[in-house]
Structure 1
Amino acid sequence: MASLAVADADRKIEVRDGDLERVSDDEISAAGTGKADILQLEHTDPVLNAKMHLVNNAIDEIGFTKYQWKLFVLNGFGYAVDSLILLIQSIIAGQAALEFNPSFARGLTIAVYVGMLVGALFWGLTADIIGRKFAFNVSLMICSIFAIVAGSSPNWVVLGLFVCLSAFGGGGNLVLDTAVFLEYLPSKDQWLLTLMAAWWGIGQLIAGLFAWAFIPNYSCSDPTIIPDAAPCSYDNNKGWRYVWFASGALVFVMSILRITVIRLKETPKFLIGEGKDEECVQTLQDIAKEYGRPCSLTIEDMRACGEINTERRGSISHAKSKFSLGEIGVHLRGLYATRRIGISTTLIWFSWTLIGLAYPLYNVFLPSYLASRGATFGQTSVYITWRNYALVNLCGIFGPILAGYMCATRLGRKYTMVVGALVTMAFFFAYTQVRSEAQNLAFNCTINFCLNIYYGTLYAYTPEVLPSAHRGTGNGIAIAWNRVMGIMSAVVATFADTNTPVPIYICAALYIVMAGIAAVFPFEPYGKRSS
């Protein structure tokens, strides 16, 4: 068998093709930075693994620069947009239904999740086939255009269509944002991937502020509450349209900033899987040069590792034809390349499935909970309801901030998720005993804070433990399962009724299961580097 030498400033590691499992963690982590790669003993291609290790060393050598800060903000836009579009449809659904009198009032929830489901799969697969750059530049633009158009919808069906198309554009961002940011991050800063989920809370807050600004002041009254109210029409019910116009315009500005503030280079780890070693090295050298940082990686170092065996490429990175069903099969097999990777992939997808039901049962239908509970305690003001909604969403920003700190301690990612899920579960059960309006607001704020500890960490953990060559596909399918259950949440909410505590009990039970799954994840990224 051919011998493979991994060149490093400190030493060389001998890896024999096909026998990577014989190389210990200590041997590889002794080279360069002293940190092991998460999947270094799981890879089925020792050449690809060795090159990935060199690139990780180079990224660590360059360190954190303004380039990563730009990515933190611009990729954070994608997080914010995902939550913004998801919550906007729930905010405006009630007022739009008063105007259009639909036969199925939960239709917009299904529409937004269908769009996000297709978007997650489409953008996730294309990320592994043609790269991360295209989706990064295009997805937000698509989202913004249809969000603006949604505000002009003449009927319920057309509104649902535009909501779906807007969600299709925004739905791929969570797949790409984490992958792109992670693949440029130095290992010591990977905890920032969890912190980036704070942008999710910012999107929620923006949705709440738009609702607070427009819904109370530019909406017709519900005749079931005010019997002598005038019929809802286009003229007296423009508040929900203003929410869409404002949201779409904001997303459009974000999409322009993505293109102008940073000219995204294709990620080095994607280029390795493509066999484009020279482009990979040049990308890293360019970043180092621009920000005055050292980068000792050379094309000779990469070549010393050998070439990815083209006869085996169909089992590693790509099928013979990229644009074929075989290509999808390659990426699916890559997510089950070894027993541990397969278990990890399955548990991650299951976790996303569970949170996909629990999250919308609470957050998407939060306006219903606030209104029904408020009415119980004598609070019927629409203005107060939407003010409280904005305050609850504000609290969601700080959950990922605490999670980012916890992830950087010995708790690691796994036990940060365990703690977040169990605390959230406790407050869900306690919420059913709320007896005053002040308690109603306080518990909702606390729940939104705690559940974002778990959710924000899961967002970061998922791409960290997926193989780089198949990261987009694995992340896309995970989020797709999440969206499928979002569709199911509309059915559950219809029969369980969000005006009762039943959905809250369901959420609490789901978080217990999620805590148990997090505890048995086979990989812990703390102190290691993504592969």
Structure 2
Amino acid sequence: MESKSEPVPPRYEESKSAFPQNNEDAELGSDADSLQKGDVLSLESVDPVLNAKMHMVNNTIDEIGFTPYHGKLFILNGFGYAVDSLILLIQSIIAQQASYEFNPSWTKGLTAAVYVGMLVGALFWGLSADIIGRKFAFNFSLMVCSIFAIIAGASPNWIVLGLFACLSAFGGGGNLVLDTAVFLEYLPGKQQWLITMMAAWWGLGQLIAGLFAWAYLPNFSCSSVATCTYHNNKGWRYVWYSCGALVFVMSVLRITVIRLKETPKFLLGEGKDEEVVEVLTGIAAKYNRPCSLTVERLQACGLSGAERRASVSAHAVSKWSPREIWVHLAGLYATKRIGLSTTLIWFSWLLIGLAYPLYNVYLPLYLESRGAQTGDSSEYLTWRNYAIVNVCGIFGPVLAGIMCASRWFWGRRGTMIFGALITMVFFFAFTQVRTGAQNLGFNCAISFCLNIYYGTLYAYTPEVLPSAHRGTGNGIAIGFNRVMGIVSAIVATFANTATSVPIYICAALYIVMAIVAGAFPFEPYGRRSS
């Protein structure tokens, strides 16, 4: 890899005079003047050629502006958020009923299986996104998820159910790595706050899972191991069938409606300048928008194509060599600030990976125990409340998106600090719940506030990662999250998650998350992702 002190290529210096100086350019900021202040990692690049080209592509994306194509991406990429939370919550929703039927020796094994699938999926799809490209994973990950989700509903025993739940999670969990990256790499700088708001789809996925549970489990479930048979306990299977069919429809829509082309920033790292221009001019022409980028302007920055591959930090000399993995890992620590940022991001994902399952994955158990104390012990009310709580989770990222777009909230970092601390307050207060109304109200408040932090972290992570290594960094971050999900399944085996102890632990974890958020070295507000 090139050292940080390498001088800017001469042809880049010459290219400054070639930048247009019209009024439109003045609004966007000239390439030369804004290079050092417009992009998040502009001062951190170890590859001046790639940095200069990335800046020109960012200017072009800003020049084209927000189009209906971006609106489609917001919806179809949002499916990935919804599916991730959907698959994650299905296993917690149906685990008890499935265990009645199969009577397994380890009842938390299904949780572990799902998190293993999501861990492997995040790492596999994340790394492949940086090597093969974003398009392949975007088109096929949801399809993989849907097929195995449907098959899971027909499982004849506990082990087979765990296997297919794991394979479904492999597709769904890995898909999430790509949703933010694909949307971000097409998005104008002024609209990057939409990445945070897109996490509202996460709450929608939770809502769908809760509604399916509410519809099927009270009416098609047995009550104990002794009375349970295949015929009187089909509710959990119906949940899998319905969710799998919904995900299948989503996967078809992603392929047929958007017809995604490879993202321009990935193509730039590949040295495919001609294809970068082709993609962006195609969008501009379709929506009658201006586009001043040309192949000549890109090539004026330095070497391109196959000649440039050996000199840039995006890939190894051969991207199919084992060294390619090392290149992407090393790129996440190219400078001290990038390395610090990467480490703190991964640590944040590790913390939320423990806090979120302790609260949300095992929330049905806690709701059941609190319901017994407050008079809301019926299965119907339990799942009704579960659906209501998840509705509230939809609006947390919406508020987070508004906050991220405002200077009054200190950008992304301030939004995460606010979300973490306010969630902590409600966690501590929740232990004092004594009535059914309080139980429901505090759960709604926690779901809303928790998703302010979670949604912003989801968006912040790809925004501050280098484009060439974004999939790898994001995949590892979510991988840490999944590792702690596995740990939480082990903890739940030996601890009583129906007590208030997990609530206190979660509250303490959110205090740490707020401190880490304040220590992040980069703030994307007012800047563009690299």
Q: In structure 2, what is the equivalent of residue 22 of structure 1?
A: none
* Residue identity matched to 1:52: M
For the 8 Å contact 1:354–1:514, the answer to whether it is kept is yes
Deviation of 1:114 after TM superposition, in Å, equals 0.1
Deviation of 1:498 after TM superposition, in Å, equals 1.1
For residues 78 and 29 of structure 1, the distance between their equivalents in structure 2, rounded to whole angstroms, comes to 37
Deviation of 1:327 after TM superposition, in Å, equals 0.7
Deviation of 1:31 after TM superposition, in Å, equals 4.5
Aligned counterpart in structure 1 of residue 211 of structure 2, from 209, 212, 220? 209
Q: In structure 2, what is the equivalent of residue 304 of structure 1?
A: 300
Is 1:404 the counterpart of 2:415 in the alignment?
Answer: no
For residues 359 and 508 of structure 1, the distance between their equivalents in structure 2, rounded to whole angstroms, comes to 11
Q: In structure 2, what is the equivalent of residue 104 of structure 1?
A: 106
For the 8 Å contact 2:271–2:308, the answer to whether it is kept is no
For residues 158 and 128 of structure 2, the distance between their equivalents in structure 1, rounded to whole angstroms, comes to 32
Is 1:244 the counterpart of 2:244 in the alignment?
Answer: no
For the 8 Å contact 1:35–1:529, the answer to whether it is kept is no
For residues 39 and 173 of structure 1, the distance between their equivalents in structure 2, rounded to whole angstroms, comes to 25
For the 8 Å contact 1:314–1:330, the answer to whether it is kept is no
For residues 310 and 430 of structure 1, the distance between their equivalents in structure 2, rounded to whole angstroms, comes to 61
For residues 149 and 382 of structure 2, the distance between their equivalents in structure 1, rounded to whole angstroms, comes to 24
For residues 492 and 310 of structure 1, the distance between their equivalents in structure 2, rounded to whole angstroms, comes to 53
* Residue identity matched to 1:358: A
For residues 277 and 162 of structure 1, the distance between their equivalents in structure 2, rounded to whole angstroms, comes to 42
Question: How has the CA–CA distance of structure 1 residues 255 and 27 changed in structure 2, closer, same or farther, with 3 Å as cutoff?
Answer: closer
Question: How has the CA–CA distance of structure 1 residues 77 and 215 changed in structure 2, closer, same or farther, with 3 Å as cutoff?
Answer: same
Partner of 1:426: helix, strand, or coil?
A: helix
Which structure 2 segments of 5+ residues have no match? 1-6, 23-28
Is 1:278 the counterpart of 2:281 in the alignment?
Answer: no
Deviation of 1:325 after TM superposition, in Å, equals 2.2
For residues 259 and 376 of structure 2, the distance between their equivalents in structure 1, rounded to whole angstroms, comes to 50
* Residue identity matched to 2:232: N
Question: How has the CA–CA distance of structure 1 residues 299 and 352 changed in structure 2, closer, same or farther, with 3 Å as cutoff?
Answer: same
Partner of 1:172: helix, strand, or coil?
A: helix
For residues 402 and 173 of structure 2, the distance between their equivalents in structure 1, rounded to whole angstroms, comes to 27
For residues 49 and 407 of structure 1, the distance between their equivalents in structure 2, rounded to whole angstroms, comes to 25
Moved runs in structure 1, 4+ residues, more than 4 A?
26-29, 308-312
User: Percent same amino acid at aligned positions?
Assistant: 74
Partner of 1:445: helix, strand, or coil?
A: helix
* Residue identity matched to 1:328: I
Q: In structure 1, what is the equivalent of residue 4 of structure 2?
A: none
For residues 32 and 371 of structure 2, the distance between their equivalents in structure 1, rounded to whole angstroms, comes to 57
Deviations 1:167-201 (A, max 9, x none): 00001122100000000000000000000000000
How many residue pairs are counted as aligned between the two chains? 510
Q: How does 1:255-294 map to 2 (within 5 A)?
A: 255-294=251-290
For residues 264 and 328 of structure 2, the distance between their equivalents in structure 1, rounded to whole angstroms, comes to 18
Is 1:359 the counterpart of 2:362 in the alignment?
Answer: no
Q: In structure 1, what is the equivalent of residue 21 of structure 2?
A: 10
For residues 415 and 491 of structure 2, the distance between their equivalents in structure 1, rounded to whole angstroms, comes to 29
Deviation of 1:319 after TM superposition, in Å, equals 1.4
Q: In structure 1, what is the equivalent of residue 33 of structure 2?
A: 30
Is 1:313 the counterpart of 2:316 in the alignment?
Answer: no
Q: How does 1:159-174 map to 2 (within 5 A)?
A: 159-174=161-176
For residues 292 and 316 of structure 1, the distance between their equivalents in structure 2, rounded to whole angstroms, comes to 35
For residues 54 and 323 of structure 1, the distance between their equivalents in structure 2, rounded to whole angstroms, comes to 28
Question: How has the CA–CA distance of structure 1 residues 475 and 152 changed in structure 2, closer, same or farther, with 3 Å as cutoff?
Answer: same
For the 8 Å contact 1:8–1:31, the answer to whether it is kept is no
Alignment TM-score, normalising by the size of structure 2: 0.94
Q: In structure 2, what is the equivalent of residue 227 of structure 1?
A: none
Q: How does 1:313-332 map to 2 (within 5 A)?
A: 313=310, 316-332=313-329
For residues 145 and 513 of structure 1, the distance between their equivalents in structure 2, rounded to whole angstroms, comes to 39
Deviations 1:462-520 (A, max 9, x none): 00000000000000000000000000011222223111111111100000000000001
Deviation of 1:8 after TM superposition, in Å, equals 2.1
For the 8 Å contact 2:70–2:186, the answer to whether it is kept is yes
For residues 160 and 420 of structure 2, the distance between their equivalents in structure 1, rounded to whole angstroms, comes to 38
Deviation of 1:27 after TM superposition, in Å, equals 8.6
For the 8 Å contact 1:29–1:36, the answer to whether it is kept is no
For residues 317 and 358 of structure 1, the distance between their equivalents in structure 2, rounded to whole angstroms, comes to 34
Aligned counterpart in structure 1 of residue 128 of structure 2, from 126, 129, 135? 126
Aligned counterpart in structure 1 of residue 338 of structure 2, from 338, 341, 347? 341
Deviation of 1:317 after TM superposition, in Å, equals 1.1
Deviations 1:23-70 (A, max 9, x none): xxx9967349x9610001100010100000000000000000010000
For the 8 Å contact 1:271–1:280, the answer to whether it is kept is yes
Deviations 1:249-302 (A, max 9, x none): 000000000011011010000000000000000100000000111101111110
Q: In structure 1, what is the equivalent of residue 466 of structure 2?
A: 467
Q: How does 1:334-483 map to 2 (within 5 A)?
A: 334-410=331-407, 411=409, 412-483=411-482
For residues 314 and 204 of structure 1, the distance between their equivalents in structure 2, rounded to whole angstroms, comes to 46
For residues 499 and 304 of structure 1, the distance between their equivalents in structure 2, rounded to whole angstroms, comes to 63
Q: In structure 2, what is the equivalent of residue 88 of structure 1?
A: 90
Q: In structure 1, what is the equivalent of residue 59 of structure 2?
A: 57
Alignment TM-score, normalising by the size of structure 1: 0.94
Partner of 1:152: helix, strand, or coil?
A: coil
Cα RMSD, aligned residues only? 1.6
Q: In structure 2, what is the equivalent of residue 176 of structure 1?
A: 178
Question: How has the CA–CA distance of structure 1 residues 177 and 29 changed in structure 2, closer, same or farther, with 3 Å as cutoff?
Answer: farther
Deviation of 1:323 after TM superposition, in Å, equals 2.3
Which structure 1 segments of 5+ residues have no match? 12-25, 224-229
Aligned counterpart in structure 1 of residue 202 of structure 2, from 196, 200, 203? 200
Deviation of 1:321 after TM superposition, in Å, equals 2.5
